Amino acid sequence: MNDQTSTPASEVAALRPQPKGLGVLKAAFRERRTLAMLLLGFSSGLPFAMLFGTLNAWLTAVNVSVATIGVLSWVGLFGAFKFLWSPAVGLRLPGVGRLGQRRSWMIVCQIILALTFVVIAVSHPASNAIGALALAAAVGAFVSATQDIVIDTWRIEAADDRAPVDLLSAVYQLGFRTAALVGGAGALILADVLGWPSTFLIGAGLMGLGLIGAFIAPEPEREAAQAIARERVATPGLRRAALIITLAAWGWAAFMLIRFMVSALTTTPAPSAGTFIQTWGPLIVAAAVLLPAILAGGLVWRGRKTVASASAAQGGLGERFYDAILAPLVELMGRLGWGAVIVLGLILSYRITDGVWGPFAYPFYMGTEGGALGHTMTEVALASKTFGVFMTLLGIALGGWALLVIGRMPCLLIGAVISAATNLLMMDLAMGAPVIDPFMRATGLYALFGTFGVGEPLARLMAAIAGENIAGGFAGAAFVAYLSALSNRLFGAVQFAVFTSLALLIGTLGRAPLGELVDRAGFAPMFQFAAALGLIAVLFCALEWIRLTLETRKAAKSLSA
């Protein structure tokens, strides 16, 4: 399952001298794919910032009830469960398909998102009739998640030696985080000056940057259907049974998601999206991802890979469903074998060390009990939403540079280590800064922050956030590069969507126990526990590095034999 059909273009690229190290960076920025990736990253990040942050700020400003805002919060579930419809992006859109399969999907999604912002801009959330706004937010969240699937797939398919996936992943993160700054802090500033409707109209116009990115993005070469049909392993009966079970599991997952959405719109008080993810998220992931993966592993174990003929590669409706849904998992399990256990552990654990305490950030920054810092909302906005975003961008830039210079696995391991370690900065703050305070006095950082009118308590918070966000940006760039490289270009849509959904959902599992820990013992033990969780990711990174090293040596021996 690990064979990939070589295209003429890839054969030619393999023969030309390839740049090394920073030479890759120079070569890549002469490629239109890099600029396209930057713009597409911005197009992906802007809806996320506007729909899941700025919109809530508008609703709060016009005194919309917290219950109503809670109803709208479920639109974020589309991003968590996008793998359920990820195979659909393999279909050719009628009418615009001549623009290319990936580009046509991007363009349609970006136009719909721009129209969504326009509908939100002309709505009146202060009134009781906000049905149009809620519908627009739901459509926008769904289309935003779909756009993410397509952009992730394009990044995997478009990468080559001149624009490697590591570089494209770092550039994507840079565009995404820039959009987070523009659509977050930038939008709030615009709203103060121009008003909320004008802010969302400007957001609609900024989606034009994504359109430019889609038009200049070269359409990747597609593999022949016969290459995909190679993953039709085992007997037709076993494939059919595995497909039926998988479709039933996906149907149940979709039913649970839709039922919650209907309940959120029709029930008072509305149920919590966070509670839904925490209660049903693990079961949905088990049914819709882990069960099909086990079935795919069983097919690999029982079957032998066969190469379909050109006519057999087409197949009937059942085979096409198999190619779209199970073939990506069959290819992955066949390629990884028992290494899938290590890969799954890495994906589940890598971002949990900083994602698990995310809901408690504001209580820690602004609260007054249990070691909380007691900062004002303005101070937190400056430290976290402005200064912190720039530090994240710096971390992404450092991660992109390191990916090119020292490689993917060293960066992944470094990212895991520093992500875990920076939790200790927050623990130190919760304990009264016994380490950070003397460090900042000895290094003159207090004086440096003081020249900008920043007092010592806020300076300590900004220093800790700088360390945490630089580490998070670095680790994020390395993680996206790893997941992109892990995805086969034949099946990038489904594989990457599954990977990111797993990474997103797992962080919700420990939040309730952590909240109880904060209530009982304060914030410092929570950060200590989060740092300890990060050691799990460090272990899996080391194991994955060893696995890949052994695979490389084995491949080298087979070539020399």
DSSP state of 442: H
The residue among 295, 347, 345, 300 whose CA lies nearest residue 496 is 347
Average pLDDT, the chain: 82
Task: Report cis status (omega within 30 of 0) of the bond before 269.
Answer: yes
**What pLDDT is recorded for position 541?**
96
> Rounded to an integer, what distance in angstroms lies between the CA atom of residue 269 and that of residue 247?
33
Contact 501, 81 (CB under 8 A): yes
Q: Model confidence at 301, in pLDDT bands (50, 70, 90)? A: confident
Top pLDDT among 301 and 507 is at 301
The per-residue pLDDT for range 451-498, each reduced to its tens digit, is: 988 999 999 999 999 999 999 999 999 999 999 989 888 888 888 888
The per-residue pLDDT for range 197-244, each reduced to its tens digit, is: 999 999 999 999 999 999 999 988 776 556 676 777 778 888 889 999
Structure tokens given for 236: 């037709």
Residues in CB range of 258: below 8 A, 6 or more apart: none
**What pLDDT is recorded for position 17?**
46
Fold of 19-222: Growth Hormone; Chain: A; (1.20.1250)
User: What is the chain's Cα-based Rg?
Assistant: 24
Top pLDDT among 145 and 359 is at 145
Helix (H) or strand (E) holding 536: helix 523-560
Residue 67 has phi, psi (to 5 degrees) of: -60, -40
> Rounded to an integer, what distance in angstroms lies between the CA atom of residue 63 and that of residue 102?
41
On whether the pTM is more than 0.75, the answer is yes
Same CATH topology for 19-222 and 337-560: the answer is yes
Q: In this predicted structure, which of 59-68, 232-241, 363-372 has the lowest mean pLDDT?
A: 59-68
Q: Within 13 Å and on the Cβ side, how many CA atoms surround 428? A: 21
Is the model's pLDDT at 189 over the cut of 90?
no
Average pLDDT over residues 31-38: 89
**What pLDDT is recorded for position 224?**
59
Structure tokens given for 267: 């029930």
Contact 470, 415 (CB under 8 A): no
Residue type, 386: T
Structure tokens given for 400: 């992109």
> Rounded to an integer, what distance in angstroms lies between the CA atom of residue 447 and that of residue 456?
9
Torsion-angle region of 309 (φ positive above 0: left; ψ -120 to 50: alpha; else: beta): beta
Query: Which range is most confident: 101-105, 325-329, 507-511?
Result: 101-105
Is the model's pLDDT at 130 over the cut of 80?
no
> Rounded to an integer, what distance in angstroms lies between the CA atom of residue 466 and that of residue 436?
13
The per-residue pLDDT for range 447-457, each reduced to its tens digit, is: 999 998 899 99
**What pLDDT is recorded for position 335?**
87
Alpha helices in 352-435 (DSSP H): 352-355, 361-366, 377-380, 388-405, 408-421, 423-430
Question: Architecture of 337-560 per CATH?
Answer: Up-down Bundle (1.20)
Structure tokens given for 369: 């009990």
Question: In the chain, where are the structural domains located?
Answer: 19-222, 337-560
> Rounded to an integer, what distance in angstroms lies between the CA atom of residue 125 and that of residue 62?
7
Q: Model confidence at 155, in pLDDT bands (50, 70, 90)? A: very high
Structure tokens given for 517: 């820990």
Residues in CB range of 13: below 8 A, 6 or more apart: 160, 161, 162
